[in-house]
Amino acid sequence: MKQLAYIVLAALFLACSNGTEKKSVPKKVESTEKESNKNYKIIGYAAGYEDYDFSKIDATKLTHINFAFANIVEGKAAFELDTDAAKIATLIGLKKQNPDLKVLYSVGGWVWSDQFSTMAAFESSRKKFAESCVDLLKEHGFDGVDLDWEYPGQRAEDNIFRPSDKDNFTLLLGDIRKALDAQGKKDNTHYLLTIATGADQAYINHTDLENAHKHLDFINIMCYDYFNGWMHQTGHHANLHPSEKDKYDVNSGVQAVERHIKAGVPADKLVMGIPFYGRQWAKVSSTKDGLYEPANEGGIIVPYWDIVEKIKSGNYKKGYDESAKASYLWNATDSIFISYDTPKDVQLKAKYIKEKGLGGAMFWEYSLDKDQELLNALYKNIK
């Protein structure tokens, strides 16, 4: 990555933009699973830049692992960290635990999405990139490619963007799909192609998901970071439902899913993202519990394992927004507010995934969990 500080920001790759559209309550879903015997996906991202031993990953509780990230270098997909090759080999080796495990690599992310727009703007460069995706896949033995372009047609982290990104993104996916299928025919296998999408209406407006999804096996919706590092106000960063306390109606998981379905994506192709981290605001001005209050700093990322330790300190009071189905912590002494997911929140999201007939769940990121607490809750309730 460009620098270590920016690498940490790559966790934001699963950062959703914040919509401000008028609040609408999604239609009530059926009370029973649409397919009781459905093989739901559990997709875990594994960040290569984290100081974590990938051999500790419990592959028996996962269907897919997405290794993050590859960059775009001279128009080609490429790994740039010295440790990438060894970590990738470890991930591929996890198939000894779970022979059905699929391992993909993800290109882009919050920091490394700066080359997508220019590369996707021309037919020759799209095909060059598509061929490089296949070459990289074959070199390491991956089962597929995941694109995390943040964000087509929109400003993100020092990224180039243009109005034509909307159509070029679909063309790019088509070229990669063709290249993967051509190689798959030779290898007598099907190589996966997936993307990570933003959760807000702006992402929907700047993409053509109705046609793009036809090239994809499934879509991972980044259902978190609704309130994030850009916002000097506290709020839920991964609430399942709209909050009655949020006068701006920033976002929610059910709204994100409904937007994708309305855009033309089949429900069973949608995978709901779940964060294994929270957002922490310091210097919060509040006389209550810190929720939806101004802060002097933006919300920084805090791993779930760190949140567990903070709770043990006894300095934080637990809060719960019933309308949003979202948990939070408030430290009145130090004026610190934290939005995060508990095992209970994960359980409710798993229930929603089944009721809505979605394809499964994705989470960012494996090393941020605490003794598999969140993963166990997801696996138990979705499998």
The three-state secondary structure class of 70 is strand
Question: What tokens does 315 get?
Answer: 């300095």
Helices (H), 188-318: 201-205, 209-212, 253-262, 304-312
Sign, Cα dihedral of 154, 155, 161, 162: positive
Q: Is 305 exposed, middle or buried, given 0-12, 13-18 or 19+ CB atoms closer than 10 A?
A: middle
Q: In what order do the strands lie in the sheet with 317-321?
A: 300-303, 277-281, 336-340, 326-331, 317-321
Active site amino acids: 150
Are 172 and 134 in contact by the 8 Å Cβ rule? The answer is no
Rounded CA separation 383/365 (Å):
19
Give the count of beta carbons closer than 10 Å to the beta carbon of residue 37.
5
Pairing of strands 277-281, 300-303: antiparallel
Are 32 and 355 in contact by the 8 Å Cβ rule? The answer is yes
Which residues have C-beta within 8 Å of that of residue 182, sequence separation ≥ 6? Answer: 134
Pairing of strands 102-108, 144-148: parallel
Place of tokens 């192709």: 269
β strands within the chain, DSSP E = 41-47, 64-73, 76-78, 102-108, 144-148, 192-197, 218-221, 270-275, 277-281, 300-303, 317-321, 326-331, 336-340, 360-364
Name residue 150's amino acid.
E
Question: How distant, in Å, are the alpha carbons of 57, 169, 206, 208 from that of 211?
Answer: 35, 10, 13, 6
